[in-house]
Amino acid sequence: MNLKVGIIGLPNVGKSTLFKALTRQKVDISNYPFCTIDPNTGIVKVPDNRLLKIAEVIKPEKVTPSVIEFVDIAGLVKNAHKGEGLGNQFLSYVREVNAICEVVRIFSDEKVSHVEGNPDPKRDIEIIKTELIMKDLETIENHLIKLKKQSRAGDKNAEKSAQILEKMRETLNDGTMLNDIEIGESKELIKELGLLTAKPMIYVFNADKSALNIEKKSSPNTIYLNLQLECEMSDLNDEEKEELGLPHSKLPELIKMCYKALGLITFFSIAKGKETRAWPIKKGTFVPQAGGIIHSDFEEKFIKAEVINWEKLIQSGSWNNAREKGLIRIEGKNYIVQDGDVIEFKI
Ligand SMILES: Nc1nc2c(ncn2[C@@H]2O[C@H](COP(=O)(O)OP(=O)(O)O)[C@@H](O)[C@H]2O)c(=O)[nH]1
Ligand SMILES: [Mg+2]
């Protein structure tokens, strides 16, 4: 499953502060056997109002949200691709994740040193970008040597792959990351080589109060947060926050952005009324494979699925009412699961 988001950035920009803020809430790992257990990895619940609304109708014993994983990756410095700092170890961590969340420091605080002297968001983004690009170029060069050899020995596939890689090399040499271009025919190679700049990216600008007025410039993959404040607030419940006059946390927004960047959508299961649960799946997943995430039997012994959009279920007031109104559809193995489907698998 593509659930891993790597937090990267220069040293002392607020990566661990973000990680702490996100992972302070304890999650019962036994519910999520597919997640990694590792000290730098934290499991984070994905906020979803639909799940709560479905639970109000189904009244299950248990409600389980979907989760994604965040990995706190040690700071990257200039020339990491040549082995500076933690260098290549850092870059191999990045290879493991499915999306990247880059923390960019805007806040200035003389007590917190900056590896380049002072924060400069534009330059700092450029440093990280260059490192990722250099690493991809190195990976591509190495693979090209191998492919050229195979191609000389008459391997037509290798020749084709080499051409695709050469095109990618050109893009990178122009200073463009691979996530900025149409992937198309490069998809397989990007996956095989684990190219870093092809991973979806979210930028978190860590701003303090004085810098938060630049918020207006937000875009779908950019968010401005005050991570220090977020971290302090993550200890408090809603009442305490209200008493202290603190703002709403923007972490839920960030988590949802990351979920989207991972290419995930959500379906819900109700387990005959016992447990209402949200499940992450890749867009375009067929219904038996979606069932396979819950239990391998649901995929292997799949007969059919009962499906209803979450909103229709809520409007009906109960599963039985929805059935009586004929709103529950029967879908076969070629059905592609849609975001917001509530599904009962029949085996
Ligand atoms: N003033 C201020 N300090 C911050 C903020 N975010 C993080 N820090 C501080 O900066 C230092 C480095 O943060 P940390 O999260 O460990 O950075 P990392 O090296 O990127 O993991 C810590 O002392 C944090 O308390 C912020 O928004 N404002
Ligand atoms: Mg850190």
Place of tokens 């109002």: 49
Q: Is the CB of 11 under 6 A from ligand 1?
A: yes
Place of tokens 């170890």: 89
* 272-304 pLDDT, tens digit each: 889 999 999 999 999 999 999 999 999 999 999
Among 31-40, 150-159, 255-264, the range scoring the smallest mean pLDDT is 31-40
Give Cα 325 distance to the centre of its chain.
38
Average pLDDT over residues 131-143: 94
Question: What average pLDDT does the structure give for the chain?
Answer: 91
Grade residue 309 by pLDDT with cuts at 50, 70 and 90. very high
Nearest to 206 by CA among 275, 171, 256, 254: 254
CA–centroid distance, 12 to ligand 2, in Å, is 7
* Confidence at residue 8, expressed as pLDDT on a 0 to 100 scale: 95
CA–centroid distance, 113 to ligand 1, in Å, is 10
* 15-42 pLDDT, tens digit each: 999 999 999 888 888 888 878 777 789 9
* 232-248 pLDDT, tens digit each: 999 888 888 888 888 88
CA–centroid distance, 105 to ligand 1, in Å, is 9
* Confidence at residue 199, expressed as pLDDT on a 0 to 100 scale: 96
Q: Spell out the domains of the chain, with CATH numbers in brackets.
A: 284-346 (3.10.20.30)
Longest dimension (CA), the chain: 73
DSSP string, 226-273: -HHHHHHHTTS-HHHHHHTTPPPPSHHHHHHHHHHHTTEEEEEE-GGG
Half-sphere exposure of 52 (CA within 13 A, CB side): 4
* Confidence at residue 238, expressed as pLDDT on a 0 to 100 scale: 82
Mutate to test the pocket of ligand 1, among 7, 106, 109 (most ligand atoms within 8 A of CB): 109
* Confidence at residue 266, expressed as pLDDT on a 0 to 100 scale: 98
Q: Is the CB of 9 under 6 A from ligand 1?
A: yes
Query: Per-residue pLDDT for 215 more than 60?
Result: no
Ligand nearest to the CA of 74: 2
Place of tokens 């972490």: 251
Q: Is the CB of 7 under 6 A from ligand 1?
A: no
